[in-house]
Amino acid sequence: MGYQRMGQMPLLQGDIYWLAEPQTGLLQTLYQCESEPDPVQLFEGTAFAAQASQSPILFKLSSSSGGMLSVLADDPRKYDGLLVASCAARAELLYHLRSLLEASFLQKRKALLRYYDPRVASYLLPTCTGALQARWLGPVSAIAWFGGTWADEAEGRKEWHLLTHDDAVGKSVSDQLLALDDEQLQRLVDQGYEHFAWRWLQQRSGYPVSQVLDWVRAGVALGHNEQNSLNAWLDSRVVAQGEQQG
């Protein structure tokens, strides 16, 4: 089935977990809705353990009516996070999710990969098909999240996303460092461009995000790599367009 966008929260099979960064009201709601969420910090025991206050937390969710799943289905905009489904033991799932935290790119460079942020997930996870799927999903049978890219947000197109791994049962967890391929690196570059376009559009409405993105890419190609310079370039495109239309 692979990746798809959906209008409603998908029905997931197996054990269901909620992976989310700390956010206002989340813990209170979880303990109100779930009797045994059994939270664990994803950064625990990793190279990022010192940043414990920023660590995403993994919670076990029940399928009972009135639980956290019902809260997310009724108001998906209330909290940010990923729904993760797996039939593997929690220890195995944790090992795999932690193996995705650090990624290598451009040969020897390494960085924290915030794949657990729904917006970052909207750029990276749709690329996890074919040969990439086994490394990214491992024992995970499905990941679902509500949100979208910066371009989606600019166009008011937040919705549910679902990435499935039909062959997850029995998949072993890889010990190899996660390596981003060229497509995933380009998606992260696109994220930066779209974020800049989104911020610019917050102050200047009425322009299609696709057009602003074309201007951003053209400006960067011309050497406008600093925020003030690129903003000035975009403003000049507005003036030029007005003159052409006038």
Q: What SS3 state is found at 84?
A: strand
pLDDT for the residue numbered 131: 78
What is each CA distance from 240 to 18, 109, 194, 215, 235, in whole angstroms?
A: 48, 40, 22, 12, 9
| Cα 205 → chain centroid | 26
pLDDT for the residue numbered 209: 93
pTM for this predicted structure: 0.91
* 142, 118 contact by CB (below 8 A): no
CA-to-CA distance for 217 and 228, rounded, in angstroms? 15
Provide the residue-wise pLDDT of the chain in tens; the chain has 246 residues: 589 999 999 999 999 999 999 999 999 999 999 988 889 999 999 999 999 999 999 999 998 778 999 999 999 999 999 999 999 999 999 999 999 999 988 777 888 999 999 999 999 999 998 878 889 999 999 999 999 999 999 999 999 999 998 776 656 666 788 889 899 999 999 999 999 999 999 988 788 999 999 999 999 999 998 999 999 999 999 888 765 654
* 37, 30 contact by CB (below 8 A): yes
